[in-house]
Amino acid sequence: MNEMAVPRPNNLDAFWMPYTDNRYFKANPRMLARAEGMSYFTPEGREVLDATAGLWCCNAGHGRREITEAIQRQAAVLDFAPTFQLGHPLAFEAAARLAEILPDGLDRVFWTNSGSESADTALKIALAYHKARGEGGRTRLIGRERGYHGVGFGGMSVGGIGPNRKQFGALLPYVDHLPHTHGIEANRWSRGQPGEGASRADALEALVALHGAETIAAVMVEPVAGSTGVLPPPRGYLERLREICTKHGILLVFDEVITGFGRLGTPFGAERLGVVPDIMTMAKGLTNAAVPMGAVAAKDEVYRAVVEGSPGGIELFHGYTYSGHPLAAAAAIATMELHRSEDLPGRAKAIEGEWQEAAHAMRGLPHVTDVRDCGLIAGIEMEPRPGAPGQRALDVFRRCFDDGVLVRVTGDIVALSPPLIVEKPHMERIFGTLSDAIRAAA
């Protein structure tokens, strides 16, 4: 496409941008106008290699024709149909396709439109499940420090990120948190899952002793925490959480919004990490982000408890106008088909060794205090500048962008999650540009 075909805005005022330093951005805009394969292009036509799959979402690469065409075809056939007391075929087909690739037992799919909606939906399903089984006293929700589950009141409350909450006053009551799993001293430079920290899951036993198992509905964690800087679970940690949840009748919810759809070299993180939750949330890679869509998968017994436990009529008073939207469903089916036909999880698995090597080569650069990875994710942690936390990483982000590579930063951590179609020359460029930027930010 020629660069003149890309419309350029001449007024940046009206859009109140999310999670953005609006004043800085509007004075120094960095815009993306087009994308293809591994790359974005600015309105001026400058290529920017995408080391973040957008925002952990375009796992199959950008502008995939198969997905675009499926959306176009569907838009011409059925633009919208409600899924409240009505249905349309693609919403069912997409759910059946998703159930086929989900870990065994996770067979029931509730459609949402985002990761945040998926988090809140999962928590509501957990509460409804216990109520349907006559355990309505289980209203407590347990999250984890440094967890991110989006920005709805449920996900924000169960999430464990202080700055995400402090503007908003009272949150959900009856929420408690496990300690995070980040043991940088013991686990520095670890490759894949770190060795130390499984016992941190025992904090769940302490919360059970404190509150009583009969008050706890669910524990929600990300299998690999992403937004707070790539925290892979210590070996044995998730297994231990699973064990304690099962023992006390607590539902285990995995937020797989970023670990789903091939990121860890398997369709879902649950398989790679060897632990199956009772409920799983998804979004992002589900449609390759071409149309917003999220999903919550529940074990059959969860679905049956709620549906068969209801006296009749509507069983779950929850849903979104756009749950199972036809364009999103078409995009999801096309995306899942691409994952199958190109074996994208297998491709990620095949290249993760090289990815790991390239990431760990950042060790030794000025102010780099840790490198960690899991599947096609890498986190490079840097020492904050005295009195200016986050500033070093922002400088790295801006320098990389200006040098043609899109990275993501959170605090003073660079978090990388390229499309799963990444190849060795892309890696060389990503880590070459990043190391120059880290040196320049020293």
Ligand X SMILES: Cc1ncc(COP(=O)(O)O)c(C=O)c1O
User: Which residues of the chain form contacts with ligand X (CB under 6 A)?
Assistant: 114-116, 119, 148-150, 222, 226-227, 255, 257-258, 283
Shortest spacing between CB 55 and ligand X, in angstroms? 6
**Beta bridge partners of residue 108, listed in sequence order:** 298
The answer to whether the beta carbons of residues 208 and 248 sit under 8 Å apart is yes
Shortest spacing between CB 310 and ligand X, in angstroms? 28
Q: Which is nearer to ligand X, 255 or 370 (CB)?
A: 255
Q: Which is nearer to ligand X, 159 or 305 (CB)?
A: 159
Q: Which is nearer to ligand X, 116 or 435 (CB)?
A: 116
Shortest spacing between CB 116 and ligand X, in angstroms? 3
CA distance linking residue 304 with residue 115, whole number of Å: 24
Shortest spacing between CB 281 and ligand X, in angstroms? 7
Shortest spacing between CB 149 and ligand X, in angstroms? 5
**Cα-based torsion angle of the residue sequence 235, 163, 32, 54 in order, rounded to the nearest 10 degrees:** 20
CA distance linking residue 385 with residue 190, whole number of Å: 24
Q: Which is nearer to ligand X, 143 or 265 (CB)?
A: 143
Q: Which is nearer to ligand X, 282 or 344 (CB)?
A: 282
CA distance linking residue 352 with residue 375, whole number of Å: 6
Shortest spacing between CB 2 and ligand X, in angstroms? 32
Q: Which is nearer to ligand X, 132 or 178 (CB)?
A: 178
Query: CB count, 10 Å around CB of 203?
Result: 18
> Which residue in this structure is represented by tokens 């838009």?
75
Q: Supply 9's token pair.
A: 């805005």
Q: Which is nearer to ligand X, 328 or 358 (CB)?
A: 328
Q: What are phi and psi of 276, to 5 degrees?
A: -105, 125
Q: Which is nearer to ligand X, 56 or 401 (CB)?
A: 56
Shortest spacing between CB 229 and ligand X, in angstroms? 12
Q: Which is nearer to ligand X, 6 or 32 (CB)?
A: 32
Shortest spacing between CB 153 and ligand X, in angstroms? 13
**How would you classify the pairing of strands 216-221 and 405-406?**
unpaired
The answer to whether the beta carbons of residues 156 and 167 sit under 8 Å apart is no
Query: CB count, 10 Å around CB of 247?
Result: 12
**Beta bridge partners of residue 72, listed in sequence order:** none
Cβ-based neighbours of 218, under 8 Å, separated by 6 or more = 122, 123, 126, 127, 141, 142, 250, 251, 252, 253, 279
Of 48, 146, 149, nearest to 418 (Cα)? 48
Q: Which is nearer to ligand X, 117 or 395 (CB)?
A: 117
Q: How far is CA 237 from CA 199, 266, 379, in A?
A: 7, 19, 20
By beta carbon distance, the residue nearest ligand X is: 115
Query: Exposure string (b/e) for 60-69, b if CB count within 10 Å is 16 or more?
Result: bbbebeebee
Q: How far is CA 228 from CA 128, 296, 380, 413, in A?
A: 30, 22, 12, 8
Shortest spacing between CB 415 and ligand X, in angstroms? 10
433 in helix, strand or coil? Answer: helix
Q: Which is nearer to ligand X, 220 or 380 (CB)?
A: 220
Shortest spacing between CB 373 and ligand X, in angstroms? 17
Q: Distance between terminal CA atoms of the chain?
A: 38
**Beta bridge partners of residue 142, listed in sequence order:** 176, 219
